[in-house]
Structure 1
Amino acid sequence: MKLFRCDHCGHLLYFENTRCERCGRALGYGPLTNNLFSLDGGPGIWMAPAFFNRSFVYCANAAHGACNWLLLHAPGADPYCLACRHNGLIPDIKNPVDLGRWQVIERAKKRLIYALLRLHLPLATRNEDPVHGLSFHFLNDEISRSPVLTGHDSGVITLSLQEADDAAREYRRTQFNEPYRTLLGHFRHEIGHYYWDLLVSGRPAHGEFRTLFGDESADYESALAAHYASGAPDGWQQHYISAYATSHPWEDFAETFAHYLHLVDTTEMAASFGLNLRPAVDQRGELTARLDYDPYGDADIEELIENWIPIASLMNNLNRAVGQHDAYPFVLTPEVIAKLGFVARLVHDAGAVQWTVPSAAGPIPINVPTGPAELPRT
């Protein structure tokens, strides 16, 4: 994630901002240009002076405090933005508790979609591709007949609304011994399953996947049952990024995919802040994070790790300085880095492909969903 600046007054902005605190201008996120635009006009149609005075509307979910993304003004067009078009089921927004949970979930989901767009990964909606299209279902345990299990099934990612409650999520984090259980982590993990189906299964990368992660044809349900009964094997840290990754090759891939997104997004944020670490105790320059590094544009995992190590060290030591646990409680062994490298190559190779789905009018590109959206800057 990068930092933004108000294109009207230059004030520092963050991804979720809807109004500039200095000049008071309304703000909206343009996903294809990756900008937060200051806006004139409203309340329905807005002009972006910094973008050739084009007219925009907010995503329909902005009315519920759940979105700040923009679409080009086009009467009769899809009212939902490039992220919200993937929502299949949302909670009852008349319930203020569930509305609040959904707003929290949407903020995490938008950060996921930000990364997928930056990596140019295929993002078909369910309408565009009924077989492989991506759809999110946000369900309430309290009104379901059975507990809602967060997971992925054939392009549909289901998330329990209770994961938006800090106390409930902390209880589950402790119960399942998951030191890094977060909403954003859930999204990044489940999208890993989605892209395994799309980019690995039955494709040229499948052989290398099995070499690194193992044979996924091993019975999944039995593997999970064994994991929850016995836990991770001794010495798992040498081979896996997390204890849960030991349960099955599919979970190992999803955990590694999520971790890759963690590293890329956090490194971009550090670079946006101008982080340039050269600790005084470092005599040979090993702990250096360069200012001009763009992790989204680089498939070289060694380069990413070289920039990440000093950032992780800084985060952990800052946390220790205020009496908190390490923010990054992971070990990057050569075997884990090799798996991360596989994911990096996979997503960058996929990002270079123009993905399409069949249509009566000819192939439809699906690197981003079709429909009116803001145009690339020229």
Structure 2
Amino acid sequence: MKLFQCQCCGQVLHFENTTCLRCGRTVGYLPDQDRMAAVEPDGPHWLMVPGQGAAGDGTLWRFCHNWELSACNWMVAPAPDGSEAPAYCAACRHNHLVPDLSAPENHARWQKIEGAKRRLIYTLRNLGLLMPVAGDGHPEPLVFDFLADDPGSVQRVLTGHADGVVTIALTEADDAARAQVKERLGEAYRTLLGHFRHEVGHYYWDILVRDGGALQGFRAMFGDETADYAASLSRHYADGPPPGWAASYVSSYATMHPWEDWAETWAHYLHMIDTLETAGALGMRIDPGVDTGELSAAIDFSPYRMVKLRQLIDAWMPLTVALNVLNRSMGQADGYPFVLPQAVQDKLGFVHDLVQGQRR
């Protein structure tokens, strides 16, 4: 995620900001311009505030309807024909079901979920990936359901994907509950954003692999996806990952089935892209003075450009080492508790090539 700047006072703005902390103006994210902007009210609309030598563009913006619920800071412009702006922004138009927001606990958890979703959508948009919404004629639009458990049922909502619908269980926004599941399952990493990145990976398997003519290459790299999924799931939770799995898979869960191997690899690709952009925006350079140069990296490029995977990996490996040792200095667990052996790098290359290929 890059850094932004208030056009009025020059203050650095972050993707989640709703107010400039220096000049106090309301700010919103303009997705089509990929920028944050300070705005001022004009009746039911908002106008961009002139600043830094630039005039306002006169566009009558609206905040996404979910802004009123403190759950979105994206803005929407009038339609090209001049008609009223849609109620929801480019990110929230993918929502299908949300929990009962009259319950304060549900509302607070949903706000966290929406924050993770916007970061996901930012990455997908900047990668130029297809993101159809319901009603635009695509046979498999990208749809999100955010569901709370029914207190009167023993059945629990499961996070997952099916036919374009990504379901996120509201309990995943409960930090304590998520930590308990992470501990129970022996997972190295479990976050809301990680869930989004993993589950949307299943969606893009449908779009880029199944429908994109890449099945043969996928099977050569990840295995035969026609293997019985339910049996694979049962076997994984009964027996765990096979011995020596870390030489070929990015996580133990990736060993469960080729679909999960793909989704875990896809999620790590998005981890890499977003974090490298953040490091570049901060002007980070990893150079501890080690003679071999193994930990040196100048992150002076945009991961969203047509770059080679090798360039991404060469910057990513030192950055994750730095991230982990900084976390340890704060008494925290490693922020990136993974390694990327050559077999995993090859799988990341397959994902990278598919993403880059659909942009040409």
Is structure 2 residue 346 aligned with structure 1 residue 338? Answer: yes
Is structure 2 residue 63 aligned with structure 1 residue 54? Answer: no
Which residue in 2 is equivalent to 1:120? Answer: 128
Which residue in 2 is equivalent to 1:261? Answer: 270
- Pairwise CA distance, 1:13: 1.1
Question: What amino acid is aligned across from residue 101 of structure 2 in structure 1?
Answer: I
Is structure 2 residue 74 aligned with structure 1 residue 69? Answer: yes
SS at match of 2:39: strand
Which residue in 2 is equivalent to 1:372? Answer: none
Which residue in 2 is equivalent to 1:192? Answer: 201
SS at match of 2:188: coil
Q: Which moved more, 1:69-78 or 1:303-312?
A: 69-78
* Whole-angstrom CA distance in 2 between matches of 1:302 and 1:257: 16
Q: Which moved more, 1:154-163 or 1:40-49?
A: 40-49
Question: What amino acid is aligned across from residue 256 of structure 2 in structure 1?
Answer: S
- Pairwise CA distance, 1:284: 4.3
Which residue in 2 is equivalent to 1:349? Answer: 357
Which residue in 2 is equivalent to 1:19? Answer: 19
SS at match of 1:184: helix
Change (3 A) 1:43 1:306: farther
Change (3 A) 1:248 1:144: farther
Q: Which moved more, 1:110-119 or 1:3-12?
A: 3-12
Change (3 A) 1:328 1:43: farther
Which residue in 1 is equivalent to 2:139? Answer: 131
Question: What amino acid is aligned across from residue 64 of structure 2 in structure 1?
Answer: C
Contact 2:17 2:27 in 1 (8 A): yes
Question: What amino acid is aligned across from residue 309 of structure 2 in structure 1?
Answer: I
Which residue in 2 is equivalent to 1:140? Answer: 148
Which residue in 2 is equivalent to 1:183? Answer: 192
- Pairwise CA distance, 1:296: 1.4
* Whole-angstrom CA distance in 2 between matches of 1:184 and 1:298: 25
**Residue from 111, 118, 132 that aligns with 1:103:** 111
Is structure 2 residue 254 aligned with structure 1 residue 249? Answer: no
Which residue in 1 is equivalent to 2:175? Answer: 166
Change (3 A) 1:141 1:274: same
> Cα deviation per residue 1:236-292 (whole Å; 9 max; x = unaligned)?
000000000000000000000000000110011011100012112x22433232242
- Any gaps of 5 or more consecutive residues in structure 2? none
Query: Identity over the aligned pairs, expressed in percent?
Result: 48
Question: What amino acid is aligned across from residue 151 of structure 1 in structure 2?
Answer: G
Which residue in 2 is equivalent to 1:295? Answer: 303
- Pairwise CA distance, 1:5: 1.2
* Whole-angstrom CA distance in 2 between matches of 1:115 and 1:297: 12
Contact 2:276 2:299 in 1 (8 A): no
Change (3 A) 1:250 1:299: farther
- Any gaps of 5 or more consecutive residues in structure 1? 353-378
- Pairwise CA distance, 1:78: 2.1
* Whole-angstrom CA distance in 2 between matches of 1:33 and 1:287: 35
* Whole-angstrom CA distance in 2 between matches of 1:95 and 1:169: 20
Count residues with an aligned counterpart: 351
Change (3 A) 1:42 1:96: farther
- Pairwise CA distance, 1:326: 1.4
* Whole-angstrom CA distance in 1 between matches of 2:311 and 2:280: 14
Contact 1:122 1:351 in 2 (8 A): no
* Whole-angstrom CA distance in 1 between matches of 2:211 and 2:24: 52
**Residue from 279, 282, 292 that aligns with 1:273:** 282
- Pairwise CA distance, 1:96: 1.2
- Pairwise CA distance, 1:153: 0.4
TM-score in terms of structure 1 length: 0.90
Which residue in 1 is equivalent to 2:239? Answer: 230
Which residue in 2 is equivalent to 1:3? Answer: 3
* Whole-angstrom CA distance in 1 between matches of 2:286 and 2:85: 48
TM-score in terms of structure 2 length: 0.94
> Cα deviation per residue 1:310-338 (whole Å; 9 max; x = unaligned)?
11111111111122221111111000000
* Whole-angstrom CA distance in 2 between matches of 1:17 and 1:317: 28
Contact 2:299 2:315 in 1 (8 A): no
Contact 1:45 1:73 in 2 (8 A): no
Contact 1:101 1:161 in 2 (8 A): yes
* Relative contact order, higher structure (CA 8 A, sep 6+): 1
* Whole-angstrom CA distance in 2 between matches of 1:23 and 1:162: 37
